[in-house]
């Protein structure tokens, strides 16, 4: 191992002299062996970002280069785990030292004592290459973890054994002497290779009407969910984690407030997976790096999370990754950049902010991994916390350049108790055309037309509300008054959804479609009545339309909505 000495210390950024190192080598800094990573080499000066608090270390202390890049351990045991930004298991650290993490403490990412029951799917003499599936382990109830050949290994299997093994015991050997184990490591900053990238043509079903219906996200796609404090980002992300039809959830709490992260860490283990009735943690990995944890570890936590997600994608799973929030990640980059004395870009962020964000989001996608014809996908949902809710700031704008779905949270909607508080006028999805054939085949032939008509009504409502503020709604022509009423029905019965109601918390696609079609049917009947000379006050006085709201809270919504349609037709017939 190469050794050098500390020369200069500036918070989490330190400079070492006389140290032979490559970019992104992991080093141990000072007498306490603090973990760090080489981020710049300037002649004889090696600049290192340290993942732990550097107070108390001084010049001339020793720096040791491990010669390896920052890597994570990949194998059974990742699910149900709660890690910090550099894959140290927080429950293990708590048992070692209590509620406060001491410096220089290390703990392996995967449990070295637990034995897993390995069932091989390959036999002696089989030829394998990187990404091939060697066998299976039941990681949690219902999740069969595929044991993969490391991406950079390959050859003929010399031996392979069934039985119970820990993650670091050999389960077999290749003819070149490579030992095969249940786990392998992978550098976090390097994307894992894939055989083929596929176009995103299947939606990530979330059970949230505004997401699925109006602004869908494709499996393998990327979405940004920006919003100010108190607009409901965390509840929205929890709903997505709980209800999305992804097989595996990776949740990264990157630089969020401690109390908010505590809420996630205490609530997630008690959430029930609606599909299986088992704990949601059975298919979840959590990475917690709060705003008071070392800033450099916050910068790397995003890469730790996406590498774990890629590992499960390579096994043929569909993965949903929640990053909350990329703004805090960007702030960590800004702090490191300023200590490196780099030329600042807009609002002090480094000039490479857009590149780093694009590199991260590009690791999402729907792919065919090596070693299997089964496809896997990573869908990334990045929360953004713009200061003061200003969407024109650099992090939000850089994110918008690389994401194709934009779910804009609105503090005013939250204040009006409209949840989820997604602003339907500023949000958008560029996947609509790609996903239209899937919705046409799987839900209804006129799905896109129904959703398009609803959006048009909501946009017309926005224009009319400006006039209403000046002259009042009674001064509008009757046709426009009807538009306002239909828009209200869409807002209250489709866009609003109660995350805490046992039925309304999840809305299947046929239910969303039926609600929209029932409201559009009311509009059609009302327009016909207006054409026959019936006054708008009489139309507004009809009662059946008000029963649409009850369908949101009923499991047997089809029967209720069919009755509503029959009652509406009867009422309009009586109007003549």
* CATH number where 297 lies: 3.40.50.300
pTM, rounded to two decimals: 0.93
Q: What is the rounded CA–CA span in Å between residue 318 and residue 312?
A: 8
Please say if the pLDDT value at position 454 is more than 90. Answer: yes
256 lies in the same domain as 347: yes
pLDDT of residue 558: 94
pLDDT, mean of residues 472-476 = 84
Residues present in the chain in total? 576
Q: What is the rounded CA–CA span in Å between residue 518 and residue 505?
A: 20
In this prediction, residue 341 has a pLDDT band, given cuts at 50, 70 and 90, of confident
Q: What is the CATH number of the domain that holds 139?
A: 2.40.50.100
Q: How far is CA 478 from the centre of its chain?
A: 45
201 lies in the same domain as 178: no
pLDDT tens digits for 240-287? 888 899 999 999 988 777 777 777 777 777 777 777 778 888 899 999
pLDDT of residue 103: 80
Phi/psi at 222 (5° precision): -130, 140
Bridge partners of 117, per DSSP, are 164
pLDDT of residue 527: 95
pLDDT tens digits for 477-516? 999 999 999 999 999 999 999 988 989 999 999 999 999 9
H helical segments located in 373-508: 394-402, 411-415, 432-442, 447-471, 478-490
424 lies in the same domain as 486: no
CB atoms within 10 A of CB 230: 12
320 lies in the same domain as 231: yes
Strands 34-42 and 376-384: unpaired
Judged by average pLDDT, the poorest of 13-17, 83-87, 295-299, 533-537 is 295-299
539 lies in the same domain as 498: yes
Q: Is residue 97 part of a domain?
A: no
- The token duo for 378 is 């990573």
119 lies in the same domain as 41: no
Q: Is residue 78 part of a domain?
A: no
pLDDT of residue 311: 97
User: What angle separates helix 447-471 from helix 509-531, to the nearest 10 degrees?
Assistant: 60
Q: What is the rounded CA–CA span in Å between residue 507 and residue 140?
A: 27
Number of domains in the chain: 4
140 lies in the same domain as 51: no
Residues 251 and 225 sit within 8 Å (Cβ to Cβ): no
- The token duo for 375 is 């496809």
In this prediction, residue 212 has a pLDDT band, given cuts at 50, 70 and 90, of very high
In this prediction, residue 475 has a pLDDT band, given cuts at 50, 70 and 90, of confident
- The token duo for 275 is 């599909």
467 lies in the same domain as 571: yes
Q: Is residue 558 part of a domain?
A: yes
Q: Is residue 525 part of a domain?
A: yes
Question: Nearest-CA neighbor of 56 among 17, 29, 84?
Answer: 29
Judged by average pLDDT, the poorest of 58-62, 327-331, 447-451 is 327-331
SS3 state at 26? strand
Q: Which residue has the tokens 């299976």?
A: 136
Instruction: Tell me the percentage of the chain whose pLDDT exceeds 70.
Output: 100
pLDDT of residue 197: 94
pLDDT, mean of residues 548-576 = 93
pLDDT of residue 41: 94
Sign of CA dihedral 262, 312, 120, 182: negative
Q: Is residue 436 part of a domain?
A: no
pLDDT of residue 100: 73
176 lies in the same domain as 201: no
Choosing from 182, 206, 232, the residue where a domain stops is 182
Q: What is the CATH number of the domain that holds 551?
A: 1.10.1140.10
Choosing from 403, 430, 457, the residue where a domain stops is 430
Q: What is the CATH number of the domain that holds 36?
A: 2.40.30.20
Asked, as a colleague might, if the bond just before 420 is cis with ω within 30 of 0, I would say: yes
pLDDT of residue 71: 95
pLDDT of residue 221: 97
In this prediction, residue 407 has a pLDDT band, given cuts at 50, 70 and 90, of very high
177 lies in the same domain as 222: no
Q: What is the rounded CA–CA span in Å between residue 349 and residue 351?
A: 7
385 lies in the same domain as 511: no
Q: What integer best gives the mean pLDDT of the chain? A: 91
In this prediction, residue 523 has a pLDDT band, given cuts at 50, 70 and 90, of very high
pLDDT of residue 468: 87
Residues 335 and 285 sit within 8 Å (Cβ to Cβ): no
Instruction: Tell me the percentage of the chain whose pLDDT exceeds 90.
Output: 72
In this prediction, residue 561 has a pLDDT band, given cuts at 50, 70 and 90, of very high
Q: Is residue 517 part of a domain?
A: yes
Q: Is residue 145 part of a domain?
A: yes
Q: 166 lies in which domain range? A: 111-182
285 lies in the same domain as 231: yes
Q: Is residue 86 part of a domain?
A: no
Top-confidence residue, 187 or 270: 187
Query: What is the distance in angstroms between the CA of the first residue and the CA of the last residue of the chain?
Result: 91
């Amino acid at each position: 191992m190469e050794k050098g000495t500390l020369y200069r210390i500036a918070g989490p950024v330190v400079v070492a002299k006389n140290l032979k190192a490559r970019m992104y080598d992991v080093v141990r800094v000072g007498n306490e062996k603090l973990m760090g990573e080489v981020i710049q080499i300037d002649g004889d000066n090696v600049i290192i970002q340290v993942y732990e608090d550097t107070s108390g270390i001084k010049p001339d202390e020793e720096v040791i280069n491990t010669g390896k890049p920052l890597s994570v351990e990949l194998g059974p045991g990742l699910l149900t785990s709660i890690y910090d930004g550099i894959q140290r298991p927080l429950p293990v650290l708590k048992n070692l030292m209590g509620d406060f993490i001491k410096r220089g403490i290390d703990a392996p990412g995967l449990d070295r004592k637990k034995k897993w029951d390995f069932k091989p799917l390959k036999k002696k003499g089989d030829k394998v290459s990187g990404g091939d599936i060697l066998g299976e382990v039941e990681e949690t109830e219902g999740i069969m973890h595929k044991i993969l050949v490391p991406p950079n290994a390959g050859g003929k299997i010399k031996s392979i054994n069934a039985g119970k093994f820990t993650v670091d015991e050999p389960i077999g050997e290749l003819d070149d002497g490579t030992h095969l184990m249940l786990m392998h490591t992978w550098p976090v900053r390097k994307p894992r290779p894939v055989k083929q990238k596929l176009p995103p043509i299947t939606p990530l079903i979330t059970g949230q009407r505004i997401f699925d219906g109006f602004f869908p996200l494709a499996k393998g796609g990327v979405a940004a969910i920006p919003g100010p404090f108190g607009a409901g980002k965390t509840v929205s992300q929890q709903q997505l984690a709980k209800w999305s039809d992804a097989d595996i959830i990776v949740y990264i709490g990157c630089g969020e407030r401690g109390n908010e992260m505590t809420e996630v860490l205490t609530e997630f283990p008690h959430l029930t997976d609606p599909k299986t009735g088992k704990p949601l943690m059975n298919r979840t990995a959590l990475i917690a790096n709060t705003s008071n944890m070392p800033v450099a570890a916050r910068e790397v936590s995003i890469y730790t999370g996406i590498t774990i997600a890629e590992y499960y994608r390579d096994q043929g799973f569909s993965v949903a990754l929640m990053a909350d929030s990329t703004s805090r990640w960007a702030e960590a980059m800004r702090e490191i950049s300023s200590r490196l004395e780099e030329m600042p870009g807009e609002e002090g962020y480094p000039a490479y902010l857009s590149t780093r964000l694009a590199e991260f989001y590009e690791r999402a996608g729907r792919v065919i991994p090596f070693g299997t014809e089964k496809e896997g996908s990573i869908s990334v949902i990045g929360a953004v916390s713009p200061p003061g809710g200003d969407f024109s700031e650099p992090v939000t704008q850089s994110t918008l350049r690389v994401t194709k779905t934009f779910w804009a949270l609105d503090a005013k909607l939250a204040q009006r108790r409209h949840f989820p508080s997604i602003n339907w006028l500023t949000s958008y999805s560029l996947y609509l055309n790609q996903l239209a054939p899937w919705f046409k085949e799987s839900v209804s032939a006129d799905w896109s037309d129904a959703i398009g008509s609803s959006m048009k009504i909501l946009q017309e409502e926005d224009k009319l509300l400006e006039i209403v503020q000046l002259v009042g709604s009674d001064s509008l022509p009757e046709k426009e008054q009807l538009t306002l009423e239909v828009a209200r029905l869409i807002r209250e019965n489709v866009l609003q959804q109660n995350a805490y109601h046992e039925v309304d918390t999840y809305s299947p696609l046929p239910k969303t479609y039926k609600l929209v079609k029932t409201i559009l049917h009311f509009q059609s009947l009302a327009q016909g009545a207006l054409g026959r000379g019936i006054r708008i006050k009489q139309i507004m006085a009809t009662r059946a339309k008000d029963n649409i709201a009850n369908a949101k809270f009923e499991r047997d919504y089809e029967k209720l909505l069919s009755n509503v349609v029959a009652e509406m037709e009867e009422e309009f017939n009586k109007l003549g």
